[in-house]
Amino acid sequence: MDDAWPALCTIVALVLLLVFIIRHKLNAFVALLVVSLGLGLAAGMPPGEVLVAMGTGLGGIMKSVAVILALGAMLGRMLDASGAAEVIAGTLIQAFGPKRASLAILAAAYVIGIPVLFGVGFLLLIPIIFRLQRDTGRSLLWFVLPLCLSLGTTHSLVPPHPGIVGAVSALAPGDSGRVMVETIIFGTLMGIPITLIGWFGPARWWARRQFVAVPPHLAGATTEETGSPPTTGDRPQPSFALSVLIVTMPLVLSLVGFSAQLAGNSLPERVTQPLVEWTPLDGWPTLRVHSLLAWLKFLGDPVMALLLPTGLAFWLLGMKRGMAPDKLAKIAGDALQDVGGILFLFGAAGGFAEVIKATGAGPFIAGQFLQLPLSPVLICYLVAVLMRVALGSATAAILIAAGLLQAFARQYVQEWPGRETLLILAVANGVTFMTQPADRGFWMVKEYCNLSVREMMVRFNSCRMTMSLAGLGLLLLYERFIH
C-alpha cells in the first residue's frame, strides 16, 4: 500500500486538474500550481521539498523550452512583417491553381508550421484565407480547415517545437541524438498522410455542407485586392526561395546536428579531432579550433537551430530590406509578449511533472501499465489524450504526459531497446486528439472562422480525432511489424 499511495494521489490529482480547468474554468497555470502542491503534500513529501521539486521542474522547462518558444515567436513575427509567409502561400496557390487552393494552403501551412507555434502560423496566414474566401465565394471552411490541420500536426509532431523536444529529453535521456533524428524524420513523414486523411475525410465533407463567411467585424482585413503588386509597405516582398530557406532551416539544422551526434566517433578523424592547436608565444595559452563534429552538434541543438534562421530573418528580411532598427526591436519585443503567458503555463506543467517524479509514483504506475493487456503505444497515446483533455494546451500536455511516462518508457526500453521514438510519437500524436475551451487556439479558430462552440467541439474535433486515430493506427501497425 505504501508504494501505491503516491500513485493513487497522482490519479486523484489528475482528476482534480480536469475538474478545476474544465468544470470550474480555473486558469490552467493556477490549477497546475494548486494540484502540484496538493499532490506533493498528500503523497507525504516534506513541505519544503514540494516547493523544491516544483522549482526544479519549472526551471528545467524554462531552460529547455523558453528560448525555443521566444525564438519561434520572433521568427513568426518577422515572417509576417516581411511578407515571407504570404510569398510562400501565394506562390503555392499559383502553382496549384485556384481549384486546388485548399491543397496549396495545406502545403504552405505544413512548411510554415515547422518553426512556429500554431497560433503564430494561424495569424500569419489568416489574411490570405480571408482574401481567398472573398475572391472565390466558397465557404471559409474550404481554406481554414487545411490551415488548422497542418499547423496542428507540425506543432505536435515535428521538432524543434518545444513540446516534442521536451518529450525526447524526458523519454530518451540517454540516447537523445539518435531519437531526435528518428523523431524529426518519422514525425515529419507521419504528419503528411494523417493531415491528408483529415482534410480529404471529415474536413472536406464538412466544408462542402456548411457555408461560412468571414466574420463581419474582421472583413476589413480583406480589403486589399489579391491581384495587387506584392509589396510590404514600400519594399518588395522577399523571394520564394529565400522565404522557404529560412522557414525550413530549423528542421534541416536539427537533422544535420543530431545526425552528426549520432554518427559520433564513426566519422573520419579529421572531422572529430580539433582542426588547429596554436600557441602564439611561449607562455601563452594554447588556442584550439574545435572539431567540425563539435560545430555540427552545436548548430543542430534546438536553440541554435532556431537562433540562426531567426537571426538571418532579421538580417535578410529586415535590415537588408530597409527596416528601421526600432521597427526590428518592436517586432522582437512584441514576440516576447506573445509567449509570456504560454511560457508560465509550460513552466507550471514542468513543475507538476517533477512533483509526480519526486513522489515516487512513476515506478508503481509504470509497473501497472506494463501489466495491462494493452500495447505500450496505446498506453502512451491514451495518457497523452487524457492530458490534452485536461489541460487544453498541446505543449503542456506533452510535457506532463512525458513526465508521467518516464519510468514506464525506461522499463519498456529495457525489454525492447531502441523503441523510444515509437513511444514519443505516440505521446505527440495523442495530444492532437482534440481541442477544448481551455486551449487558446480553440477560441482563435472559433472567432476568426465564425464558428459556434458546438461546431468546434463536435465538427472540428471530429477532424482532429480522425487524424489522431489514423496516426495511432500507423504506429500500432509499425509496432506490430517490428515485434
Tens digit of pLDDT for each residue in 449-480?
888 888 998 999 999 999 999 999 999 998 88
Is the pLDDT assigned to residue 268 strictly greater than 60? yes
What pLDDT does residue 358 have? 86
Higher pLDDT, 294 or 281: 294
Is the pLDDT assigned to residue 202 strictly greater than 90? yes
What pLDDT does residue 243 have? 92
> pLDDT tens, 43-56?
999 999 999 999 98
Higher pLDDT, 413 or 311: 311
Q: Which three cell numbers stand for residue 276?
A: 588547429
- Considering 143-157, 245-259, 377-391, 408-422, the range whose residues carry the highest mean pLDDT is 143-157
What does the CA dihedral 224, 230, 231, 235 come to, rounded to 10 degrees?
A: 180
What pLDDT does residue 226 have? 36
What pLDDT does residue 222 have? 42
User: What's the chain's average pLDDT?
Assistant: 84
Could you give the percent of the chain with pLDDT greater than 70?
88
Beta bridge partners of 315: none
What pLDDT does residue 241 have? 92
Is the pLDDT assigned to residue 224 strictly greater than 50? no
> How many domains, in total, are found in the chain?
1
How many angstroms separate the first and last alpha carbons of the chain?
A: 34
What does the CA dihedral 263, 268, 269, 272 come to, rounded to 10 degrees?
A: -30
Kindly list the distances between the CA atom of residue 233 and the CA atoms of 73, 81, 229, 236, 348, in Å, as whole numbers in the listed order.
Answer: 22, 10, 11, 8, 41
* Distance in angstroms (rounded) separating the CA atoms of residues 235 and 230: 9
> pLDDT tens, 13-30?
888 887 887 778 788 788
Model confidence at 145, pLDDT cuts 50, 70, 90, reads very high
What pLDDT does residue 230 have? 43
Is the pLDDT assigned to residue 283 strictly greater than 70? no
Sign of the CA dihedral with 307 first, then 312, 315, and 321 last: negative
> pLDDT tens, 31-81?
889 999 999 999 999 999 999 999 988 887 777 678 888 888 899 889 888
What pLDDT does residue 271 have? 63
Is the pLDDT assigned to residue 265 strictly greater than 70? no
Instruction: Name the residue range of residue 306's domain.
Output: 4-482
Peptide bond before 160: cis, by omega within 30 degrees of 0?
yes
Is the pLDDT assigned to residue 188 strictly greater than 70? yes
Higher pLDDT, 267 or 208: 208
What pLDDT does residue 187 have? 93
Model confidence at 438, pLDDT cuts 50, 70, 90, reads low
Query: Average of pLDDT values for 104-132?
Result: 88
Is the pLDDT assigned to residue 218 strictly greater than 80? no
For every residue of 306-368, DSSP letters joined together read HHHHHHHIIIIIIGGGT--HHHHHHHHHHHHHHHHHHHHHHHHHHHHHHHHHHHTHHHHHHHH
Contact 254, 184 (CB under 8 A): yes
Could you give the percent of the chain with pLDDT greater than 90?
31
